Amino acid sequence: MTQHLFIAPADIQSPRWQQAFPSAVIAPDSAQIAEADCVWLLLRDENDFAQLQVLSGSDKKIIAMTLIENAQQARQALEAGASGYVHYLAVPQVLEQVAQVVAAGGMWLGADLMRQLVLATARILPAPVAKPVNGTKVDLSQLTSRELAVAELVAAGKTNKEVARELYITERTVKAHLGSAFDKLKVRDRLHLVLVMAANS
């Protein structure tokens, strides 16, 4: 039986982990790493990537979890040794599937990210007609670094107050950044912000 260990800060956890794997251990750090043979690591900042690098040295299977699916982050995670890349709020069925595939020596990526990889690869391999991907695209690059930071946390489900605490600024400032992000991305509220960010990552 596979022993799963979920490493994530206390404020970003999902009940679905335990639902998918009743015997799973959920902890904020890797203290109980020894008993685990499948580690789910929530990626948020560079430190988490560093930890991923460290873990990849072992023979344990590592699955990166993310707040927002993002192609570059996925690539980095897989390069750093992860065998899977999945949204942290994925439903138990998906989590189980990821575990299965990874346990079988496979790699797991959501279909959308996979498709991106396929299409991206089309450019470097001798390809026929690589259909350029487009759509209702929003340019997140027009946001300043602070606006983006706020937007990402908000898109991860944080409230303004939580974002403020996390970034060591006042709630008012959070609103300011958020408001200008709304303007730039032409969305009316945080809900739509999540939708466009989810559709363009």
93 touches, from DNA, a second copy, none (C-beta below 5 to 8 Å by class): a second copy
177 touches, from a second copy, DNA, none (C-beta below 5 to 8 Å by class): DNA
Q: What are phi and psi of 115, to 5 degrees?
A: -60, -40
159 part of the interface to DNA, by CB under 7 A:
yes
Look at strands 38-43 and 84-87 and give their pairing: unpaired
User: Site residues for a second copy, window 6-45 (CB under 8 A)?
Assistant: 15
Residue 172: CB minimum distance to DNA, A: 5
Residue 142: CB minimum distance to DNA, A: 8
User: Site residues for a second copy, window 97-156 (CB under 8 A)?
Assistant: 97, 100-101, 104-139, 154, 156
| Structure tokens, 51 | 């930890």
Handedness of CA 191, 193, 199, 201 (dihedral sign): negative
Residue 165: CB minimum distance to DNA, A: 11
- Taking the least distance from each CB to a second copy, the nearer of 33 and 107 is 107
Q: What's the full length of the chain, in residues?
A: 201
Q: Is 22 exposed, middle or buried (0-12, 13-18, 19+ CB in 10 A)?
A: exposed
Please give the single-letter amino acid code of residue 9. P
- Taking the least distance from each CB to DNA, the nearer of 72 and 141 is 141
